[in-house]
Every structure is written in structure tokens, then in C-alpha cells.
Amino acid sequence: MAKEMRHRKIIMSLLLLSMMIMLLAACGKEGGAEKDGGNKSSPWENIQEKGEIVVATSGTLYPASFHDSESKELTGYEVEIMKEIGKRLDLKIEFAEMGLDGMLTSLNSNQVDLAVNDIEITPEREEKFTFSEPYKYSFGTAIVRKSDHSGIESLEDLKGKKAAGAATSVYMQVGRDYGAEEAIYDNVTNDVYLRDVEIGRTDVILNDYYLQKLALEAFPEFEIMIHPDIKYHPNVQAIIMKKDNDELLKHVNDVLADMHTDGTISELAKKFFNGEDVSIEQAYDFE
């Protein structure tokens, strides 16, 4: 009798162990982090499952990304490009507004899928991130005071001058290279930057020509100007994403190619840049 009881206990223990193993296996399948075969879902598959792409942008950089003064809705050249990409991929575009430094951090931490904010393609960024095909070509200029050009007649004169901008921007790096003092702003609107140059709180804003030109047109009351003799750093802008998101990159690039072919990007460029087609690469005659 005692021997029979021991056999029953052993059988019950084995059955209990088998049930626990099956339960753990079922939990592993229900977790959703892995597909059949143990492979993790790709970023593109996660996007398809959610039905949306989360895009980081500032909402303060006219005309790339800003809020319409009347409707208060987020719009701009790059914002509208992203909205059209979403339509053609049958995905919702969810925008997350933040400064440039936060965008790059959020990409790496998977809080956002893409970022657009006049972000330049550079070798340093290409080591850490992936870029789409370009949709904007430009070059760098300098906003200074009208009265005295802020004491700046060449890039060499930036030494000791206060340059306003974001810490991780390419243009702030130009300022550093020429010895400018950094005046770091996070995610403020153009009028704050421009007014500070006019009143002498800062001396110069190094930035994209087309953005600078439109900013001045929007705030004609400020006694500032684009320096007539300072042109530098031809550059290219595109959508930025986390490194090696190959499927996402392919889908984005396919749509961008279609939008270039059918003229959509050209139309958006002219709409937001006062008739100038910034989507076409130019041949610049300066270094």
C-alpha cells in the first residue's frame, strides 16, 4: 500500500511539472515580443501592428514645423511631407513635439520612430542613425544686427561672439569651430532668437539660408539681417531614424520617390518657401 502511494505521488509530481512547463511556454508565446521561431518583431512590423508612425518634430521651426497662427494646427514643409507619407502607407502619423537634442535621444530609446526638423545629413550622424532620401538642399548663412553686422564680416570673426542655437545642431558646431561662445536654446520660437540678436543678448544666429530668410520676412520689425557676405556649408536634409531600420527605410524611400516623381514634394516646397523649390539640388559657387 505504501509503495502504491509513493508511485501515485511521483506520477502527480510529474504531471504538475509538465503542466508548469506548458504554462510557461504559453506565456512566452503570448508575450508578443517574438514571432514563430523566436525572432523579435522588426520596427516596421511593430508600426504596422500599431497602425501609426510616431514622428518627433519641434513645432517651432518655421516653415519646416510650426503651428498655424489661426488654426493652431501643426503644419510645415516637413510636417506635410510626413502626413502625405502616412496617407500613402495607410498609417496614422502621431507627432511628438520636442527640441532637436530630445529627438535624437528619443530615436535611440525607441520612443519615436522618425524625426523631421530640418535635420542635416552628416557623416557623424550617419554613423549613429539612418537617413531617408533627401527632400531639401540648402546652405548656411548668418543673421546679424543691421547697424554693425554684430562686428562680424567673416566666419573668422565669430571668435568671442555669442552664437544662438541648439547644442547638437550642425550650425552650433560651426560656431564652436570658429571660437564662438554658445548661447544654447532648447525649443523656442523664432521671435525669441531674433529679438535676442537685435537687443544684443546674442550676436549671431548661424542657420539654414531658407529658414533664415523666411524668419526675417515674418518679423520685419527687428533690426537684423542676413549677412551679405557669409555663405558656407552646402547641406542636405532628410528624415532621420534609428540605425538599421531597413524595412522602415525602404517604405519611406519608396513613398518619397513617388512624391518626387508626381511633383508633390516640389509643390509643398514652393508652398512653404515662397515659391522656391528647395527640393532640387543646386550648384553653389562658394566653399
What is the Cα 69 distance to its own chain's centre?
Answer: 23
CB contact at 8 A, 59 and 190: no
Here the cell at position 58 is 519641434
Co-location of 215 and 243 in the same domain: no
Co-location of 61 and 117 in the same domain: yes
Per-residue confidence in pLDDT tens, the chain, 287 aa: 555 555 555 555 555 555 555 554 544 444 444 554 556 788 899 999 999 999 999 999 999 999 999 999 999 999 999 999 999 999 999 999 999 889 999 999 999 999 999 999 999 999 999 999 999 999 999 999 999 999 999 999 999 999 999 888 899 999 999 999 999 988 888 899 999 999 999 999 999 999 999 999 999 999 999 999 999 999 999 999 999 899 999 999 999 999 999 999 999 999 999 999 999 998 877 65
> What's residue 139's pLDDT?
95
Co-location of 203 and 75 in the same domain: no
Here the cell at position 287 is 566653399
In a domain, 91, yes or no: yes
In a domain, 4, yes or no: no
Question: Would you say the pTM of this structure is higher than 0.75?
Answer: yes
In a domain, 156, yes or no: yes
> What's residue 8's pLDDT?
57
Domain count, the chain: 2
Alpha helix (H) residue ranges in 31-163? 43-50, 77-89, 100-108, 123-128
Domain that holds residue 78: 43-135+238-272
Co-location of 242 and 231 in the same domain: no
Co-location of 149 and 172 in the same domain: yes
In a domain, 23, yes or no: no
Co-location of 198 and 73 in the same domain: no
Angle between helices 209-218 and 190-198 (to 10 degrees): 80
- Which CATH number covers residue 201? 3.40.190.10
Co-location of 229 and 245 in the same domain: no
Co-location of 126 and 157 in the same domain: no
Cα separation, 26 vs 6, whole angstroms: 31
Co-location of 144 and 78 in the same domain: no
Co-location of 129 and 247 in the same domain: yes
In a domain, 248, yes or no: yes
> What's residue 278's pLDDT?
97
Cα separation, 230 vs 179, whole angstroms: 16
